[in-house]
Structure 1
Amino acid sequence: MPGLLPFNDNLGETIPPDTPHAVSVSLPTWSANVGYEEGKDWVVSKMQCGYPRFFIHKSIQHLAEIIVAKYGTPHEKAMLFPTHAVALRCVDFLSRQHPPTHPHTFRILDFVPSPTDAASVDHKRVQPRLSAVVYPKEHWPTAKVFWQHTGDGISSRRAEFCRKALEAGQLVERSAITDSMRLRKGPKRYQRLSRETNVLDMHENGDASESGTANAQEPAQFVEERFGRNLNVAFAAEAKLAIRRRIAGSLTANVDLPEAMEKPQDEASKRHVVGFSVDDVYLYPTGMSAIFNTHRAIMTARGMMKSISYGFPYVDTLKILEKFGPGALFYGHGSSEDLDDLERRLESGEKYLALFCEFPGNPLLKTPDIRRIRALADKYDFAVVVDETIGNFLNVHVLPYADVIVSSLTKVFSGDSNVMGGSAILNSEGRYYDLMKHALVREYEDNHFEEDSVFLERNSRDFVSRIERINVNAEAICEVLTKHPRVKQVNYPKSSPTRKYYDQCRLPSGGYGGLLSATFHSVADATAFYDNLDTCKGPSLGTNFTLSSPFVILAHYMELDWAASYGVEASLVRFSVGLEDSEALKAVFERALAAIPAAGVSST
């Protein structure tokens, strides 16, 4: 088994080290996390990256600055999105928060392939496109809220791809295109749409096939150096199809893309719902985008009604329900008493759009009574949306109880902490299936950037074997923490009072996942432990290496008392357990526990 990833104690460096598109950043001490939340320069100035929805990647910032310098004024900024439709939603959000004083307060610039660029009519190549929302600088906090909550901004790879095209004159602002430019045509070889579908035949551009020498290269070199602007549309489409097949459970083998396309469906592992197919799996640029757009689709299908947020939620899920719809009924404890209260409301005639929950929750790892929720939904007519990111479909089978399952593919599905992605799955037997299908026909856009899809497909090939190993390691760390007197409470599905609800959906071969947390007797105890814990330390979860974080400090620093009222205390440390050697990992945790002063056990 792999050893420990070298502990990265360099504040602000990418996790993993030297990873241009990393989705985590090193915050190696408790004070560094506090400093980040308080915007202290000694922390923020060293940040090379951050979790992409919270810290806009520098390549995206750079491209936005280029666009504003050319098309805006010194008093403006820009937010970048993959399509005009997403940009329109951002403008609508800004306009509702800050009614515009004139028609051009908020404007959209659409960037499209230049008609004078020969490659722009080569339909085999991925083409650069994006839309920029230009707005007054003073509205940056509101624009950032939209970016963070929706997860619909462009990825750092798309930003780099489009910046290079813009600088080369291959990407232009739509309004600048003249009739004379439209009439110009490129070389004859680009004027005909090729009917060829063999995406691995790239010898025209001097590229090796994936089954040849290119397959042995590192992914970054394989995609960014070998393909450059020649990334093949059909090749990326096959990568997306392979991803969707893995999410559907019909592709479990660790095989290269050509074999994945030819391999018959794995019926034994396929999600067992009548009529379910890969066509019921939808890709999104991030997990939060999957939640945001699922909420939009349900409102399109069923109308504008309040939703229910059940259980202590990941921070942005509740914000989406509150800010992008009629509001939410919040049950932060996720208890049976909460369901009793909900049932009384429903019985009295209250109507709701959907109930959103996580299986299990984050960071307390409590599992909702999904069977009772399903029964209430059937009786009182509301949809059920389950976030299975933490449990994941190799451990639990929750589709029969949900109308929609959402998940962040950024996490354990990828594992490498270098690409974002999300998915939504429709239950083909759900009562709203036809309505949702029709809504998605009108609303759905596949905005997962093709280069990101290639990375995600490669990362996810060994998903099955990684989950098995991570389950074993997490249970071992749970045992270490549970036995230690310095730990006030361990939160893990296996040891939780709600284990029975988890077990009702646990597959015969499934475990309890790789996420757990520990609440300490005081923040001082937690600080001593965290500062001496030799794992990678930063935001995100589901990584192939163990990643630790003072989650409540990062996610709820401005609302610590509110979080504590739901049992989510400031002294909580969350662990996403990786693939390391079990004994070596246990020793790392034991050394950190030993660093807590003896008097800390009785401190307050």
Structure 2
Amino acid sequence: MGLPAGLPFNETVGDTIPPNTPHAVSVSLPTWQSNVAYEEGEEWVLDKMQCGYPRFFIHKSIEKLATSIVKRHGNTESDKAMLLPSPRCADRCLEFLRTQNPTVDPSCIRHLDFVPHSDKIDNESSNLVQPRVSAALYPRELWPTAKAFWQHTGEGISSRRAEFCQHAFDEGRLVEAHSIRDSPPRVTKGPRRYQRASIDLKNGLNGNGEGKITNSVGPPDSAQFVEERYGRNLDVGLATQAKLAVRKRIAGSLTSAAELPDSLDHTDDLGRTRSRDVPGFSTDDVYLYPMGMNAIFHAHETLKATLREAESVMYGFPYVDTLKVLQKFGPGAIFYGHGSSADLDDLESRLEKGEKILSLFCEFPGNPLLQTPDMKRIRTLADKHDFAVVVDETIGNFLNVHVLPYADVLVSSLTKIFSGDCNVMGGCMILNPHSRYYSNLKSHLEAEYEDTMFEEDSVYLERNSRDFIDRIQRVNQNAEVIADILRAHPRVKQVNYPKYSESKHFYDVCRLPDGGYGGLLSATFHNIEDAQIFYDHLNTQKGPSLGTNFTLSSPFVLLAHYSELEWAAQYGCEESLVRFSVGLEDAEKLKEVFEFALTAMPNK
């Protein structure tokens, strides 16, 4: 059965999602075949990719700057460069490269720091964000290790930082630190762009009125916002305000959608003394990171530094790189992939026998199976046996659920629904002031925390998140509509959604009175053929990531676990699973799109 007119064919492969967005977070993989071809490294997909999810795909602007640095400061025949936002990040990269490749001559792995040329900074520009980047140089054959560091830790630079630093590098304003006598001030600069892509969320129609759920084509993401609103360059003060507003929004003490700086003193939010319903909690307990995985990585590093060196527990089937961080950056991990009561029984038995662990990491709920952990029991075990609990609340989000009382540390990806626009990365780590480890964690972070979020990225994130509260309820409602449609169809084997999960009662323990069940769900089919036909006929945007303002679909297990499909299947993550991040479109249009894809499967 062929695809009807109006559905995405393979000519959209590699396009940015959203369209015409230079710093997009997702990339179009519109058919099942294109996802397989991407995993197989086929040129007809890879050669067309304008972007990709930033931890799995090195943006072209980053590649360009890395190549420029190697050309000027390295050996183009033997060296590659991995770009990091600070010398300390570069040092961690070097350490990983050396420990993972002990037979390689350590002197072949080094890093260079690039700073603003002191002669180029005058009194008028000293208050502007200035360029800064570090480069880890290594032999080309170590590329797989360097790429693993980039992917697992989220330490790499953003494409906006690369684009800006490229201009400064080419103009001689960004130079290698040892080439100048005095170290310049530690400040940074932001490029001349910033325009929000427009989205037809009311009707979900493409230009032909065919009911496609997509972004309407608008001006490039990098067009004019910063230059038109704030002048040619970005002021450090504006970026500082943006980061404060983001932290206050995460803390729950900022609900205003007003422009900066007025929103920071908005009368609707004045007088609020309790954020997230945890006495003593404040904005000072929120730490920003350039992406969610970087927050997870630093949560793990902080716990190792303040508690003990011991194995951690990954409870529940996780987003892939969380487990990798625990396995590769420390003593290792105990993996409970089912996230079941029996798994907690086994953990309790180990602990009762005297086994010590550093921490338990879990997601609330999990991705992609949307199972919810028993936070009450986990908290009881943690208090009794002295280990930290780290909860990733990205999927549930803090407007739906309140999990802070059960955690010592919360982590979240701000790239997802907090931003919604799919054009900027961000992450955060949150401390619970009632944790027994709070004072130690706080002291460590006060001494060691490094803000590496690029200033212009923070301005994007603040701007995108102003309507965060208004978006959540609509996303919750739309996701329930789609879950009900899928559950009613006989060719769908299983729908994974917190509302219909066997672990629903664990979710409801933490669900807020006006909270819903989130915008993420997944479905498995009885066979791969049905999954392929359904996916190919599903007329939404299709690519990696989630939490977008528009509906985004992906054959998640195929894409995330292609080389380990049998391993993933034993935990319930079947190859036929399709994941849906439901957006803000009109509910009736969403129903039409999903019903059409369901009817495309031939009767048997």
* Mapped pair 1:369 → 2:374: yes
Show the counterpart of 1:30: 32
Distance 1:120 1:312, change over 3 A: farther
- Tell me the C-alpha RMSD between the 2 structures: 2.0
Show the counterpart of 1:565: 570
Q: CA deviation at 1:265?
A: 4.2
Show the counterpart of 2:210: none
* Mapped pair 1:142 → 2:145: yes
Q: CA deviation at 1:140?
A: 0.4
Identity of aligned residues (%): 65
CA contact (8 A) 1:517 1:574 kept: yes
Show the counterpart of 1:396: 401
Show the counterpart of 1:151: 154
Deviations along 1:377-426, one digit per CA (max 9) or x if unpaired, are: 00000000000000000000000000000000000000000000000000
Secondary structure of the 1:518 match is strand
Structure 2 residues not aligned, in runs of 5+: 1-5, 188-192, 194-219
Separation in structure 2 between the aligned mates of residue 51 and residue 339 of structure 1, nearest angstrom = 34
Show the counterpart of 1:213: none
1:281-296 matches, cutoff 5 A: 281-296=286-301
* Mapped pair 1:133 → 2:150: no
Separation in structure 1 between the aligned mates of residue 528 and residue 338 of structure 2, nearest angstrom = 22
Distance 1:346 1:490, change over 3 A: same
Q: Which moved more, 1:220-229 or 1:78-87?
A: 220-229
CA contact (8 A) 1:309 1:329 kept: yes
Show the counterpart of 1:79: 82
Distance 1:28 1:266, change over 3 A: farther
Distance 1:91 1:559, change over 3 A: same
Deviations along 1:407-455, one digit per CA (max 9) or x if unpaired, are: 0000000000000000000000111100101111232111110000000
Deviations along 1:140-173, one digit per CA (max 9) or x if unpaired, are: 0000000000001000000011111111111100
Show the counterpart of 1:197: none
CA contact (8 A) 2:360 2:389 kept: yes
State the 4+ residue runs in structure 1 displaced beyond 6 angstroms. Answer: none
Separation in structure 1 between the aligned mates of residue 315 and residue 272 of structure 2, nearest angstrom = 33
Q: CA deviation at 1:222?
A: 1.3
User: AA paired with 1:286?
Assistant: M
Distance 1:562 1:170, change over 3 A: same
CA contact (8 A) 2:22 2:221 kept: no
Separation in structure 1 between the aligned mates of residue 231 and residue 316 of structure 2, nearest angstrom = 45
Distance 1:407 1:220, change over 3 A: farther
Show the counterpart of 2:56: 54
CA contact (8 A) 1:120 1:127 kept: no
Separation in structure 2 between the aligned mates of residue 589 and residue 119 of structure 1, nearest angstrom = 58
Show the counterpart of 1:330: 335
Distance 1:226 1:75, change over 3 A: farther
Separation in structure 2 between the aligned mates of residue 553 and residue 269 of structure 1, nearest angstrom = 43
Separation in structure 2 between the aligned mates of residue 233 and residue 507 of structure 1, nearest angstrom = 37
Show the counterpart of 1:187: none
TM-score (norm 1): 0.91
Show the counterpart of 2:551: 546
Separation in structure 2 between the aligned mates of residue 463 and residue 152 of structure 1, nearest angstrom = 26
Match of 1:435 among 425, 429, 440: 440
Show the counterpart of 1:41: 43
Q: Which moved more, 1:259-268 or 1:67-76?
A: 259-268
* Mapped pair 1:105 → 2:87: no
User: AA paired with 1:394?
Assistant: L
Q: CA deviation at 1:262?
A: 1.0
CA contact (8 A) 1:545 1:579 kept: yes
* Mapped pair 1:509 → 2:511: no
Separation in structure 2 between the aligned mates of residue 71 and residue 121 of structure 1, nearest angstrom = 31
Deviations along 1:41-72, one digit per CA (max 9) or x if unpaired, are: 11111111000000010000010000011111
Aligned length: 563
CA contact (8 A) 1:364 1:517 kept: yes
Distance 1:295 1:121, change over 3 A: farther
CA contact (8 A) 2:392 2:410 kept: yes
Show the counterpart of 1:232: 235
User: AA paired with 2:160?
Assistant: R
* Mapped pair 1:176 → 2:182: no
1:445-524 matches, cutoff 5 A: 445-524=450-529
Match of 1:243 among 243, 246, 265: 246
Match of 2:165 among 147, 162, 165: 162
Structure 1 residues not aligned, in runs of 5+: 1-5, 183-190, 194-206, 208-216, 600-604
Distance 1:40 1:228, change over 3 A: farther
Q: CA deviation at 1:257?
A: 1.4
Separation in structure 2 between the aligned mates of residue 595 and residue 420 of structure 1, nearest angstrom = 36
Distance 1:260 1:293, change over 3 A: same
User: AA paired with 1:566?
Assistant: Y
Show the counterpart of 1:211: none
Show the counterpart of 2:69: 67
Separation in structure 1 between the aligned mates of residue 447 and residue 301 of structure 2, nearest angstrom = 11
Show the counterpart of 2:424: 419
Distance 1:219 1:176, change over 3 A: closer
CA contact (8 A) 2:274 2:282 kept: no
Secondary structure of the 1:257 match is coil
* Mapped pair 1:354 → 2:354: no
Deviations along 1:196-232, one digit per CA (max 9) or x if unpaired, are: xxxxxxxxxxx9xxxxxxxxx9884112566576211
1:160-309 matches, cutoff 5 A: 160-178=163-181, 220-223=223-226, 230-263=233-266, 264-265=269-270, 267=272, 270-309=275-314
TM-score (norm 2): 0.91
CA contact (8 A) 1:114 1:172 kept: yes
User: AA paired with 2:405?
Assistant: P
Q: CA deviation at 1:543?
A: 0.1
Show the counterpart of 1:94: 97
Distance 1:230 1:455, change over 3 A: same
